[in-house]
Structure 1
Amino acid sequence: MLAWCLAVSPAASQESSANKAKEETAPVKAPTVSVTKHIGTFGGQRIAYTATAGETYLKDKDGTPKAAIFSTAYVKDGHDPDRPVTFLFNGGPGSGSVWLHMGAFGPKRVAIPSDARDDGGPPYPIVDNPDALLDVTDIVFIDPVGTGFSHALGKTDPKDYWGVTADAKSVAEFIRIWLTQNRRWNAPKYLGGESYGTTRSAAVANELEGAFNDISLNGIILISTILDFGAQANVEGNEMPYILFLPSMAAAAHFHGKVPDAPPLETFVDEARRFAAGEYATALLKGQALKGDERADIRRRLARYTGLSEQYLENADLRVTDSRFYKELLRDRNLTIGRLDARYTGRDFDNAGETPDNDPSFYGIDGGYAAAINSWVRDGLKFDTERQYVTIGSVGDWDWNIGGGDSRYYRSVAPYIARAMRENSDLRVFVGQGYYDFATPFFGAEYALGRTGFPVERIEYRYYGSGHMMYVRDEDRAALSRDVRNFIRAR
């Protein structure tokens, strides 16, 4: 999921600095690793598997440990060097892999409400997850430096790992180490992430396949995709976000009953897609030349697809930002809607503001996931550490430089995937998107992956009736699991 800026108190900052000073002067201990045995039923198959929760050290050229990467690997018992292995992570940047781990694909999951209600207080049920993928692939959940239990070692500055390219290099290095230690170099390999984790997937694929010492991939799994940051940059003068967010606004308006005589969701969303890429895009490009009957027609149709009044749309010059939309759609009900999942609603301090106080689709799930990952890893997997698990938080200033050409002006990692697919004829891409996701709108994924240079026949799209973390909805978790399982089997 996408990171939110979190305030850090002076006391917490001082404590963090003191802990870092101790780490710099203390000798580096051996990696902490816990290995446990388990049995579960996944995809209808009874599977005995080994769970390894532990640290892997990334080292400098002289062998000095620089960072500890925490990972949780679930491997079917009975060594099979040709069995598929899938490497997964979440996003942020700054998020641990807790969300995919305890929500979608791990052998245990936290059972929070499926119908967009707040998760309330503990205890939260931690239950067997038959939708985990262990019947078709081994799974390795990775926490990049600064997330989960992963951290810099000794005098290493964690900022050395905080950037699109630096982060990708460290994850690629971890994958190479894991393949060597587990003798899996010739296994079919899948790489996947959610949200910024899709950005990371593209960048890691570039690190793995972009050199002579290649690690070729069989598939990339993109869940809630964000690849083209230029197109979705919400800055004055950029018309693309209004186009890319419009189909998501249509889906949200449809869900909340703001569309009179509404057709089925998929039909309505497809209408909005065509309008957004056609007449609406043309209208926006006309700027102040859009007048009279033509402007009135665009305003009328925009009101139908967004559920907002024509007067509000005129006041906004036919350009409604996503943050305004969260507040405005249900203002007449004194409710806001979620950013990560527009099915969720919340109540602000008052109803007069322009944007919501907070995202009800984030505070509606965070407590359950934080409790679940700590309980499962510490108690179920017996990983012993005094460190706090970072579910999501600030990793400091992120280096967004992608490199090459004019990327400092327009940032997109989509070309990394296009190139990898052109140079690897077996590489396929799975794209899973929630209709009600505003953090990474589905039309943005379609736009980024539909540009020139992509072998589009090897890109598979699937859509779900929920938001950013579609697996919080029971029906969509089962569907996502089935779709990814079929994607892996189809190699």
Structure 2
Amino acid sequence: MKFARSIALAATANLAIISAPVAFAQDSPSTEKSAPASPDLQVRTRDLSGTFGGQRVDFRATIKENLLSGDDGKPEAVIVTTSYVKQPRDTSRPVFFLFNGGPGSGSVWLQMGAFGPKRVAIPSDAKDDGAPPYPLLDNPDSLLDVADLVFIDPPGTGFSYLTEGTDPKKYYGLEQDARAVATIIRRWLNDNGRWNSPKYLGGESYGTTRTAMVARELEGETYNDVGLNGLVLISTILDFAGREPTPGNEMAYIVTLPNMAAAAYYHGKVDAPSVEAIVEEARQFAIGPFATALLKGQDLPADERAAVRAELSRLTGLSETYLDQADLRVTDQRFYKELLRDRGLTIGRLDSRYTGRDFDNAGETPDGDPSFYGIDAGYTAAINSWARETLGFETDREYQSIGSEPGRNWQWTISGRGRSAYLNVAPYIGDAMRQNSGLRTFVAQGYYDFATPFFGAEYSLKRTGIPQDRVEYHYYDAGHMMYVRDEDRAKLSRDIRAFIRSR
């Protein structure tokens, strides 16, 4: 998480020219000028045990503040990592580095929802998480039986922060953020003696964008020194053009159509044998007759328009009158409001299984996202309780589960790319895979996720330059955070466990 609130703010800002790359110095500060005093850095460790994947595992939990300094020795950022390492240490075990998205999201979602040793208990059936207390449960779906886990909170997320006076442009951006995370990964490998361990890199939502950019830093740029075994992409967003329904960009309507069909099926607006069946029909229609019709624009013949409109209505559950008024182009925001308008309900963006009630039923778009406000309080309570009370982390800082500061300042350009109106980082995954014959990619997508549509992930990763024999796709009967559904959390755990074991 979360390609939700902060990405929407940042993506609409004017693109700015990226600042010069930042060097993260690890040497002593310059003797010519005294650098500001470094902040006191915390390291808190607890020895714990649990049962994961059916195996009893003793592990060491460490929450640590890591300092990044500029090349002048000035402290610039404090990045918090939370690691879980099996005891006694075994350097032959894989290490799995994980982060969430946003940009601006802390790792709370993957840590307390999917893969950490504890998870927060929230309803599995797309219902509101209600009021506290929110139980913290043992998480048998954690991957600690097959890998050591390192959760990273990039600058401006979680408890991580920029020091006073640090220019946000040095850390808040596609390249800057990736460089900082890559530096933290190298340091962790140094500090823990794990350079020759199998290594996996994974993120959710914008975290998949970060995964592509960090892989570029580790394998394709800078030092080219960290070999990776696998990339794990959960709720993938790599090609941003497919998510922007600006006038003239027809791909936004094409890649979201299968999601509309899935949501309509879930809420009983269309008939089909299964969600998989309706999704496949929508895929074929989207890439065939629907794409053709949109690309013809005003040259689309009336009879062809009528046929496309009728099929579009059958797949989405929307009336032909509404589709005609929308010129066959229904934005996702309009769909959330329109699908269940007759029931006085809206549906979720992150997970369209969720429903909510707006102030009134006359609007064009919903007041909010019921699939976000339905779970966020539980996760925030859980990470604060776990970090502060169990791991002993002490701070006056508020945990940024979805921080707005990175999103407001994010630099959406990549140096050397010229005009960047079309942002697609999928080629960096192709570069890494072509240069590393042992690198594989795992893609996890929820059928009910409109924030990062599964058809968009398929479209971005099936194009030229990405070895298809080393990419595997997995689908889940939930949304953006498929692990909120108990059955899909267990399935996601099994699928990634098998992916790691099959190296």
Cα distance change on mapping 1:332 and 1:207 into 2, 3 Å = same
Cα distance change on mapping 1:71 and 1:398 into 2, 3 Å = same
2:331 and 2:252 map into 1 onto residues whose CA distance is 8
Q: Deviations over 1:159-204 (max 9, x none)?
A: 3210000000000000011100011001100000000000000000
Which of 450, 456, 461 is equivalent to 1:449? Answer: 461
Q: For the Cα contact (< 8 Å) 1:3–1:94, is it kept in 2? A: no
Find out whether 1:229 has 2:230 as its counterpart. no
| Amino acid in structure 1 at the alignment position of 2:492 | L
1:90 and 1:266 map into 2 onto residues whose CA distance is 27
Equivalence map 1:101-116=2 (5 Å): 101-116=111-126
Which of 374, 379, 386 is equivalent to 2:389? Answer: 379
Q: CA deviation at 1:319?
A: 0.4
Equivalence map 1:117-128=2 (5 Å): 117-128=127-138
Q: Deviations over 1:425-466 (max 9, x none)?
A: 000000000000000000000000011001011001000000
- In structure 2, the residue matched to 1:337 is 347
Q: CA deviation at 1:153?
A: 2.1
2:70 and 2:61 map into 1 onto residues whose CA distance is 28
SS of 1:230 mapped into structure 2: helix
- In structure 2, the residue matched to 1:438 is 450
Q: CA deviation at 1:290?
A: 1.1
Equivalence map 1:33-432=2 (5 Å): 33-211=43-221, 212-260=223-271, 262-394=272-404, 395=406, 396-406=408-418, 408-432=420-444
Q: For the Cα contact (< 8 Å) 2:169–2:411, is it kept in 1? A: no
1:144 and 1:238 map into 2 onto residues whose CA distance is 32
| Amino acid in structure 2 at the alignment position of 1:204 | V
- In structure 2, the residue matched to 1:484 is 496
Q: For the Cα contact (< 8 Å) 1:3–1:393, is it kept in 2? A: no
- In structure 1, the residue matched to 2:3 is 2
Q: For the Cα contact (< 8 Å) 1:57–1:66, is it kept in 2? A: yes
Q: For the Cα contact (< 8 Å) 2:445–2:454, is it kept in 1? A: yes
| Amino acid in structure 2 at the alignment position of 1:276 | A
Higher mean C-alpha displacement, 208-217 vs 235-244 = 208-217
1:343 and 1:145 map into 2 onto residues whose CA distance is 32
TM-score by length of 1: 0.94
Which of 469, 473, 489 is equivalent to 2:481? Answer: 469
1:309 and 1:440 map into 2 onto residues whose CA distance is 25
SS of 1:294 mapped into structure 2: helix
SS of 1:122 mapped into structure 2: coil
1:213 and 1:429 map into 2 onto residues whose CA distance is 19
Q: CA deviation at 1:385?
A: 1.1
Q: Deviations over 1:57-109 (max 9, x none)?
A: 11223443321101100000112222100000000000000000000000000
- In structure 1, the residue matched to 2:19 is none
Unmatched segments (≥5 aa) in structure 2: 10-34
Q: CA deviation at 1:405?
A: 3.5
SS of 2:146 mapped into structure 1: coil
Q: Deviations over 1:122-179 (max 9, x none)?
A: 0001000000000000000000000001011243223321000000000000001110
Among all aligned residue pairs of Structure 1 and Structure 2, give the percentage whose two residues are the same amino acid.
Answer: 66
Higher mean C-alpha displacement, 311-320 vs 405-414 = 405-414
Q: For the Cα contact (< 8 Å) 1:168–1:207, is it kept in 2? A: yes
Q: For the Cα contact (< 8 Å) 2:440–2:471, is it kept in 1? A: yes
Q: For the Cα contact (< 8 Å) 2:36–2:75, is it kept in 1? A: no
2:386 and 2:36 map into 1 onto residues whose CA distance is 29
Cα distance change on mapping 1:406 and 1:278 into 2, 3 Å = farther
1:220 and 1:267 map into 2 onto residues whose CA distance is 28
Q: Deviations over 1:203-255 (max 9, x none)?
A: 00000001444201000000000000123222111000100000000000000
SS of 1:115 mapped into structure 2: coil
Q: Deviations over 1:2-46 (max 9, x none)?
A: 141599xxxxxxxxxxxxxxxxx9843321110111010000000
Q: Deviations over 1:366-415 (max 9, x none)?
A: 00000000001101111111111000021222100023344513111001
Q: For the Cα contact (< 8 Å) 2:243–2:252, is it kept in 1? A: yes
TM-score by length of 2: 0.92
2:128 and 2:243 map into 1 onto residues whose CA distance is 29
SS of 2:65 mapped into structure 1: strand
1:98 and 1:432 map into 2 onto residues whose CA distance is 18
Q: For the Cα contact (< 8 Å) 2:107–2:158, is it kept in 1? A: yes
Q: For the Cα contact (< 8 Å) 1:88–1:191, is it kept in 2? A: yes
Q: Deviations over 1:247-299 (max 9, x none)?
A: 00000000000014x22211111010000001100010010111221111000
2:422 and 2:434 map into 1 onto residues whose CA distance is 22
SS of 2:409 mapped into structure 1: coil
Q: For the Cα contact (< 8 Å) 1:26–1:154, is it kept in 2? A: no
